[in-house]
Amino acid sequence: MLGLTTRFSFLALCVLQIDEEVAKLLELKAQLGGDDGKHQFVLKTAKGTRDYNPRQMAIREKVFNTIIGCFKRHGAETIDTPVFELKETLTGKYGEDSKLIYDLKDQGGELLSLRYDLTVPFARYLAMNKITNIKRYHIAKVYRRDNPAMTRGRYREFYQCDFDIAGQYDAMIPDAECLKIVHEILSELELGDFCIKMAWADVKKEMVNEKGLSEEVADQIGEYVSMQGGMDLAERLLQDQKLSQSKQACAGLSDIKLLFSYLQLLQVTDKVVFDLSLARGLDYYTGVIYEAVLTQTGVGLGSTEAQQEAHAEDSVSVGSVAGGGRYDGLVGMFDPKGRKVPCVGVSIGIERIFSIMEQKASAEKVRTTEVQVMVVSAQKNLLQERLKLVSDLWNGGVKAEMMYKKNPKLLSQLQHCEEAGIPLVAILGEQELKDGVVKLRVVSTREEFDICRADLLAEIRRRTSEA
């Protein structure tokens, strides 16, 4: 009787477990979209974000390498800062844009926010570590609670690529280098024609509130905001009877003239325009600001024909792809003694550049790996020999791979090389093993050479360096 009772208890327990599992499955079905269609769960990325496939990542890596190479060429070192800051660190630094900051829930007694840009964290870093001069670059993600425009390279989560020079230096020399960097990057990426616009930021406010310029003279300056030019415009404004009466206005224009003289020496004046109408929205800028605008790329930023048609104007003027300026007072906001550390920098609009590069490369074949040689076998039962050879190549610093099959077909191995853009094939066969050689095949020309096993590494390096 006891055994029968135990058996019934066991069966009851099994039924209960089955019922629980069925309930879980029904709940999951409802989440994924039940018969009534009331509960729908759609797999997608969060609004204003995106995934990147290997092809897109290869394009991004190329752009990053170009930008980082330029930064390093100019002697910059790199830093990193946390993805979130104390909320009070970011508060009051961005003007109207402060409403776009992502605030986080209170965790452990600290009010935190996701970083809005890399400039304010950089200023906090300088003040906290008592650093008075540094030339640094920082590439990292930032976050903005904005209305995204994905086809125009505007996201809620995106990378910024910043280059900044902090320290007491003679006027306009660091500023000129920042503009040179923008010129170099946009030229090397071959995005299309571009123009770098410069302005004396928020002219009236700065001249009146900070430099004691009269309202009357400030209003006279306003008459010139539609003018654009270079050294010639600065000289013309300096000779103007109205402006020449103001020492502050003359000082500002003299700085612009000095900057253009340096830009001439750096050979970048062909793309730089002095534009008094330009004004950036962030509160921390204190002097010359600049913005790089693509004037023609030959492609729209949409990913479909309809999007390209909707953004047809982008092929003529696609907007800003870089911007920056001088922010001499920002570090002092974090220093207990209010000590100022003059700073000037530039931020590259990397997401917009990615969008343009993707469109340009849409019809091109893009390599998603850097494999230099594929180790293949011409007959069966050569897996061990392939493993030995690919191991030797890896140990020698060669980027190599092989198929994960014991006896792959030779044709499928060669087809993989052509599809993946792998330049060389190292072929092993019974005869090659007897002769102590490896047959090296050039994929592009289909030429084949017998190379002594001992000389294989050197031959691969020679051929890949030539490519």
Strand duo 288-296 + 373-377: pairing: unpaired
Is 440 within 8 Å of 451 (Cβ atoms)?
yes
| Residue 151: strand, helix, or coil | helix
The number of beta carbons lying within 10 Å of the beta carbon of residue 186 is 22
Rounded Cα distance between 194 and 297, Å, is 9
Angle (CA) 191 192 194, round 5°: 105
Q: Which of 193, 212, 210, 192 is nearest to 201 (CA)?
A: 210
Query: Is 285 a known ligand-binding residue?
Result: yes
For the stretch 359-397, what's the b/e string if a residue is b when 16 or more beta carbons lie within 10 angstroms of its beta carbon? bbbeeeeeeeeebbbbbbbeeeebbebbeebbebbeeee
Give the DSSP H or E segment for 5: helix 2-33
Helices 231-238 and 247-265: crossing angle in degrees, nearest 10, is: 160
Rounded Cα distance between 83 and 115, Å, is 6
Cβ within 8 Å of residue 173, ≥6 positions away: 262
Is 413 within 8 Å of 403 (Cβ atoms)?
yes
Query: Is 435 a known ligand-binding residue?
Result: no
User: What are the E-state strand segments in 33-101?
Assistant: 77-78, 84-86
Query: Is 280 a known ligand-binding residue?
Result: yes
C-alpha distances (whole Å) from 65 to each of 45, 139, 292, 394, 455 are 27, 11, 20, 24, 32
Query: Is 137 a known ligand-binding residue?
Result: no
Query: Is 389 a known ligand-binding residue?
Result: no
Query: Is 160 a known ligand-binding residue?
Result: yes
DSSP result, 347-406: EE-HHHHHHHHHHHTTTS--------EEEEESSSS-HHHHHHHHHHHHHTT--EE--SSS
Residue ranges for the binding site for L-histidine?
117-119, 144, 160, 164, 280, 284-285
Residue ranges for the binding site?
117-119, 144, 160, 164, 280, 284-285
